[in-house]
């Protein structure tokens, strides 16, 4: 296997944190997003969408979504279980992963892609071509974000981790989302004390440095 990776992007970081938690070593190839290597012919031959990460399997098949890559790796290396073992654990982790993605991560992407000058004319990732920014989406992202942090803060009022008693992929999704959102000036408000407590604990894990 070979993982095509990028240092600062949130989706590849999810996979790196997952690998670190699992203590799995996978050879990595760096893709320089600042030089638009993800849009070069060599990388597009691997992933025509022009997004990272991409996991190339030994038989040549390519898996291109971070969630799918981590699911694949969990099937190969079940312990420690980051997607749950009992049916209710699996369901709970999936539920909260999706809620974080649909509320928090979408807000961060909308704010970043539609509000950052560097993405003028590139409001969609990968090989989507010229796409104009929509300032109203950046404004709406703040509303999404406010709702997201309130929901997560309430969820964490009486729990150590987002989807149950143990650290899971839902926590990885939330950690990478919050760190990415900071680039778009979406922050955890001071009053979200339970979310801040969770964030400090999650960010202190060695895997967070992956």
Q: Averaged over 181-187, what is the pLDDT?
A: 93
CATH class of the domain comprising 2-76: alpha beta
pLDDT one-digit tens code per residue, 115-158: 887 788 777 887 666 889 999 999 999 999 999 999 999 999 99
Provide the residue ranges of all domains of the chain, joining segments of one domain with +: 2-76, 87-209
Same fold, 2-76 and 87-209: no
87-209: which CATH topology?
Glutathione S-transferase Yfyf (Class Pi); Chain A, domain 2 (1.20.1050)
**Average pLDDT, whole number, for the chain?**
95
> 179 phi and psi, to 5 degrees?
-65, -40
pLDDT for the residue numbered 119: 81
If you search the block for the tokens 């040549």, which residue do you land on? 60
- Tell me the C-alpha distance between 16 and 25, whole Å: 10
pLDDT for the residue numbered 78: 97
Q: Give Cα separations from 109 to 22, 44, 80, 119, 179 (angstroms).
A: 27, 22, 30, 11, 12
pLDDT one-digit tens code per residue, 35-71: 989 999 999 999 999 999 999 999 999 999 999 999 9
What's the length of the chain?
210
pLDDT > 70 in the chain, percent:
99
Q: End-to-end CA distance of the chain: give it in Å, rounded.
A: 19
Q: Averaged over 181-193, what is the pLDDT?
A: 95
pLDDT one-digit tens code per residue, 104-117: 999 999 998 898 87
Task: Give the rounded distance of the alpha carbon of 71 from its chain centre.
Answer: 14
């Amino acid at each position: 296997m070979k993982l095509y990776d990028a240092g600062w992007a949130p989706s590849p970081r999810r996979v790196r944190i997952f690998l670190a938690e699992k203590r799995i070593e996978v050879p990595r190839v760096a893709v320089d997003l600042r030089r638009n290597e993800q849009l070069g012919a060599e990388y597009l031959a691997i992933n025509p969408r022009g997004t990272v990460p991409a996991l190339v399997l030994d038989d040549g098949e390519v898996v291109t979504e971070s969630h799918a890559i981590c699911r694949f790796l969990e099937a190969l290396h079940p312990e420690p279980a980051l997607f749950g073992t009992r049916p209710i654990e699996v369901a709970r982790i999936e539920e909260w992963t999706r809620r974080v993605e649909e509320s928090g991560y979408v807000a961060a992407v909308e704010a970043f892609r539609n509000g950052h000058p560097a993405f003028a004319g590139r409001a969609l990732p990968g090989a989507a071509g010229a796409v104009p920014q929509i300032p109203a989406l950046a404004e709406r992202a703040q509303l999404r974000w406010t709702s997201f942090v309130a929901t997560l803060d309430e969820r964490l009022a009486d729990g150590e981790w987002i989807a149950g008693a143990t650290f899971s992929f839902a926590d990885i999704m939330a950690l990478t989302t919050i760190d990415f959102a900071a680039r778009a000036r979406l922050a955890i408000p001071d009053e979200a004390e339970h979310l801040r407590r969770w964030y400090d604990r999650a960010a202190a894990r060695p895997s967070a440095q992956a």
